[in-house]
Amino acid sequence: MDVAVGFSPSSPSTAERSLELRPNDANALNTRGHIFEALGKREEAIVDFRRALAKDANHKSSTEALRRLGAGP
């Protein structure tokens, strides 16, 4: 598996821990979405970006990521 620079196979578990502590945090969802995207897990990334937008409809990074992935906001 190709892993993006700055991400490791343990990165998703680190993001999971953050979401355990703050389950409604749009930034944590967005971060995990970017990790999933970097790891080639497109569908998981889309789910997290959409969940981030459900928590914060103005979350610019999640909106841009969904557009980039062809999933719209």
pLDDT at 3: 41
pLDDT band at 5 (very low <50, low <70, confident <90, very high): very low
Closest listed residue to residue 42, CA positions, set 34, 54, 52: 34
All structural domains of the chain with their residue ranges: 11-68
The arithmetic mean of pLDDT across residues 25-36, rounded, is 93
pLDDT digits (tens, 9 = 90+) for 9-22: 556 677 788 888 88
Tell the CATH topology of 11-68.
1.25.40
Q: Is the pLDDT of residue 50 over 80?
A: yes
3-state secondary structure of 24: coil
Q: How far apart are CA 5 and CA 49, in angstroms?
A: 21
Q: How far apart are CA 12 and CA 10, in angstroms?
A: 6
3-state secondary structure of 31: helix
3-state secondary structure of 29: helix
The arithmetic mean of pLDDT across residues 32-46, rounded, is 94
| Percent of the chain residues topping a pLDDT of 90 | 63
